[in-house]
C-alpha cells in the first residue's frame, strides 16, 4: 500500500478569504516503510503572510519571491499523489487550501485524485479523548523526537506525522529507509517485515508444567504465611490440558 503523508504551510488561516499555500511537504511510505521518494515545494503566493502565520512558519515573502507559482508544480504534485492514500493531520485545513489552489487552475479536488484520505487528528481524538492532540502533543505522547521543530515546516511535519502514524497504528518505534536496511553478521541486507497480519499460535502448558507451576505457587504461599493474593481469590488455579 502506498501512503503519502502531507502537510502545508500557508499565508494565513482562510483559503476562502484569499490566503494561499506557500509550502508543501510530502513523505512516501510503501507497505509502512519510508522510501525516500518525497516531494517538497516552496511556492510564491503572490501576497504576504499574515503576521501570526509568519510567527508559526517563519517563511518570508523575500524568501519566496523567486519560488514557482502553484500552477508550475501542479502537474508534478498531481502525478505524485494520484491513487495514493493521503495521511494528513487536520485534513480539512490542508485539503481546503489545496482544493482552492487546484480549482484556480481548473483541476478537480484532491479526493477525486487519490484513493483515500486519513485524518490523524480524528484518529488521535478517538484514541485519546479529552487530551491535546496537536502534532507536538502526539510526538511527546508517542516518544517521537521533534526536537528539531523550532518552527513549523511542511516537510519536517510530514516526516514527524509519518512516525506518529506508525506509532498510532502499530507502535513501531522506528521507520526503515530502503537504502539503510539492517544487515546480518555476513553483511547481507535483512528485509523489514510487517508482522501485523501474523497469527501467533498459542501453546498451552502441559500437565507436568502446570503441576510444577502449582508447586512453586504453594511454596510462595507458604513463605508468605498464607497471605498471597491469588490464594484469596482463586484457592486452586484451573488446570488446562495441552
C-alpha 198: how far from chain center: 22
Q: What is the radius of gyration, based on Cα positions, of the chain?
A: 26
- What's the per-residue H, E or C state across 40-103? EEECCCCCCCCHHHHHHHCCCHHHHCCCCCHHHHHHHHHHHHCCCEEEECCHHHHHHHHHHHHH
Cβ–Cβ under 8 Å, residues 81 and 87: no
Distances (CA, A) of 31 to 68, 75, 136: 32, 25, 25
Inter-residue contact 24 to 154 (CB < 8 Å): yes
CA angle at residue 92 from 13 to 136, to 5 degrees? 75
What DSSP state is assigned to residue 193?
-
And the C-alpha cell for 142? Answer: 508517542
Would you please indicate which residues are annotated as catalytic (active-site) residues? Answer: 152
Among candidates 138, 195, 209, which has minimal Cα distance to 167?
Answer: 138
Amino acid at each position: 500500500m502506498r501512503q503519502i503523508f502531507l502537510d502545508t504551510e500557508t499565508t494565513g488561516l482562510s483559503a476562502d478569504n484569499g490566503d494561499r499555500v506557500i509550502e508543501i511537504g510530502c513523505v512516501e511510505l510503501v507497505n509502512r516503510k519510508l522510501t525516500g521518494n518525497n516531494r517538497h515545494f516552496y511556492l510564491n503566493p503572490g501576497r504576504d503572510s499574515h503576521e501570526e502565520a509568519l510567527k508559526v512558519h517563519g517563511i518570508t515573502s523575500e524568501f519566496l519571491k523567486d519560488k514557482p507559482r502553484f500552477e508550475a508544480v501542479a502537474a508534478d504534485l498531481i502525478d505524485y499523489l494520484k491513487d495514493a492514500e493521503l495521511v494528513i493531520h487536520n485534513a480539512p485545513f490542508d485539503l481546503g487550501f489545496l482544493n482552492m489552489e487546484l480549482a484556480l487552475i481548473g483541476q478537480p479536488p484532491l479526493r477525486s485524485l487519490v484513493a483515500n484520505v486519513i485524518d490523524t487528528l480524528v484518529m488521535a481524538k478517538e484514541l485519546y479523548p479529552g487530551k491535546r492532540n496537536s502534532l507536538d502533543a502526539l510526538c511527546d505522547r508517542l516518544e517521537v523526537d521533534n526536537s528539531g521543530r523550532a518552527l513549523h515546516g511542511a516537510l519536517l511535519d510530514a516526516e514527524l506525522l509519518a512516525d506518529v502514524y506508525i506509532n498510532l497504528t502499530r507502535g513501531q518505534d522506528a521507520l526503515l529507509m530502503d537504502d539503510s536496511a539492517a544487515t546480518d553478521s555476513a553483511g547481507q541486507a535483512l528485509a523489514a517485515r510487517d508482522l501485523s497480519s501474523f497469527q501467533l499460535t498459542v501453546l498451552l502448558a502441559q500437565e507436568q508444567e502446570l503441576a510444577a507451576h502449582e508447586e512453586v505457587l504453594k511454596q510462595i504461599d507458604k513463605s508468605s504465611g498464607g497471605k498471597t493474593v491469588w490464594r484469596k481469590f482463586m484457592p486452586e488455579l484451573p488446570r488446562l490440558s495441552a
